[in-house]
Structure 1
Amino acid sequence: MAKKIIVLDPGHGGKDPGAVGNDLLEKEITLMIARKVAKRLGNYDVTVRLTRDDDTFLSLDARAAFANNVKADYYLSIHVNAGGGTGFESFIYNGPVNSVTGNLRTALHQTIATFVKSYGIVDRGEKKANFAVLRQTNMPACLIEMLFIDTAKDAAFLKDDEFMRGMSDAITAGLVQILNVEAVTPAPQPTPEPPQPSTPVWNPQGEIQKLIDAGIIFNNHPADAPVTWGEFAAVINRILNSNKQ
């Protein structure tokens, strides 16, 4: 069975910075979130495609066409709001859409809203709009607006690493839920073989040389030469005598 495909679309980019405020650029925040979500989705049985993975400008038409061309099962456009408000909101197309689009958006919205409300952030609700990327995509599509970049309170959250990790987790959890994708089970790693003890190198002629150096024997006999009982007794006696010294 083919994997489901999710297209993440970080809003703006390149010559289009998006909303600007409180030393933040929308295009940078959206790309950061998209990358974090894509990384988290890597733990699931799903294919993730980003419309952009760097600071590149893409037209709205190109973004929708990208999702259509890869035959995505779901499209999520990621944005940051502006205009002096506060809170989180989501959008689907305000024209004809099937019930699946609405149901999936509701489930995704509620997952993200539960997270932001835990920080006391306002849930501005589920909305509809005539956005080009929602109108031109052929699959269920949603656009989210994560807080207001030009409101100091919201901007403080957008600058907070812990909050942004939590936002990424919430978006990921919502996508996993609505697309019903399973976590990937890591392949079992083979148990490494215990190291084998090294086999000592046997050097018979070297052992004979050690006896010569110790004064136990006096001639450099070939290692495979036969030994008489008399020679054997002489060697043993020399060893015994050396221990008495």
Structure 2
Amino acid sequence: MKLYLDPGHGGSDPGASGNGLKEKEINLDIALRIRSLLTTNYENVQVKMSRTNDNTKSLQQRTDEANSWGADFYMSIHCNSFNGTANGYEDFIHNLLSNQSRTAGYQDILHSEIIKANGLYNRGQKKANFHVLRESTMAAFLSENGFIDNSKDAALMKQTSWRQKVAHGHVNGLVKAFNLKRKAGKPSDPIKHSNPNILYKVIAGSFNSKKNADARVAFLKGEGIEALVTTKTISNVRWYRVQAGAFKNRKNADERMNAIKKTGADAFIES
């Protein structure tokens, strides 16, 4: 199977942005993970990427390259944006395709596997007249992996472990859609073979201002929950994050996260 893998935007075209993140960077990170999972674990898979770094490439250049290479499938990776109020995952095929088309069948499979993995609100399967869906001569699919300007979706995007899960979801869909065969000696489900020494950190807020982070710590302590401020730099922007515990047991982390949410504060688990 020949996959043309297209991380949307790049170079002078950053795509959407929000919460200290740039779409072009998230797209590329997920796409590189998809390529690695496919080429490492599956037989008879060729992957050509529209870009492997932060360079500029037109939409026409991308579809021309995929068409001349003779790809079997075009997969375009994106993130969404809409004034901070919308959230969730959705994907697209071209709007002239019927629900009985081969491409629609691929979308059914991919959508199911990706939504299992990403933990996002399911906005559904959609159709559109996007260039990469219209001008590619092979079956083509475009995924919108959360809203970068939505604080909850963006909090997930900042997690390496979440981006890996999203990549796994895309790969699992491709495996089912194209009946890919696993290489000898590779585990049957790479998601289940994670590092046993993983640490689950409970993050109860991420702020541009340390003053706001300190206020969240004080609030949580008033609710009987210990917390501290840590820093993390993303895309050259410093974030002050409130960490309310780190656990080896996921169940314990879930319990702490739920306790925080009962106070009215947001929280998520980072691993």
**TM-score higher than 0.5 here?**
yes
CA distance in 1 between counterparts of 2:69 and 2:183 reads 22
Larger-Rg structure: 1
* Number of aligned residues: 181
Partner of 2:137: 138
Q: Deviations over 1:82-115 (max 9, x none)?
A: 0031000000000246710000011001100122
CA distance in 2 between counterparts of 1:7 and 1:177 reads 17
Q: How far 1:160 sits from its partner (Å)?
A: 1.0
Partner of 2:108: 106
Partner of 1:229: none
Aligned pairs for 1:184-223 (under 5 A) are 184-185=183-184
Q: Deviations over 1:50-84 (max 9, x none)?
A: 01111111111111111111111111000000003
Q: Does 1:86 align with 2:90?
A: no
CA distance in 2 between counterparts of 1:96 and 1:33 reads 27
Q: How far 1:186 sits from its partner (Å)?
A: 5.7
Partner of 2:9: 12
Secondary structure of the 1:125 match is strand
Secondary structure of the 2:78 match is strand
Secondary structure of the 1:182 match is coil
Secondary structure of the 1:40 match is helix
Query: Paired residue for 2:25, among 14, 28, 31?
Result: 28
CA distance in 1 between counterparts of 2:183 and 2:116 reads 26
Q: Does 1:77 align with 2:76?
A: yes
Partner of 2:192: none
The one-letter amino acid of 1:44's match is Y
Partner of 1:63: 62
Partner of 2:42: 44
Change (3 A) 1:183 1:82: same
TM-score, normalised with respect to structure 2:
0.65
Secondary structure of the 1:31 match is helix
Deviating above 3 A after TM superposition, structure 1's stretches of 4 or more consecutive aligned residues are none
Report the identity percentage: 43
Secondary structure of the 2:91 match is strand
5+ unaligned residues in a row in structure 2: which ranges? Answer: 187-271
5+ unaligned residues in a row in structure 1: which ranges? Answer: 188-245
CA distance in 1 between counterparts of 2:66 and 2:144 reads 19
Q: How far 1:185 sits from its partner (Å)?
A: 2.1
Secondary structure of the 2:10 match is coil
Answer with 68-77 or 89-98: which moved more: 89-98
TM-score, normalised with respect to structure 1:
0.71
Q: Give the number of the structure whose residues are more often strand, by fraction.
A: 2
Paired residues of 2:97 and 2:104 also in contact (CA < 8 A): no
Paired residues of 2:93 and 2:142 also in contact (CA < 8 A): yes
Partner of 1:209: none
CA distance in 2 between counterparts of 1:179 and 1:63 reads 22
Partner of 2:126: 127
Paired residues of 2:77 and 2:142 also in contact (CA < 8 A): yes
Aligned-pair RMSD on alpha carbons?
1.4
Q: How far 1:176 sits from its partner (Å)?
A: 1.2
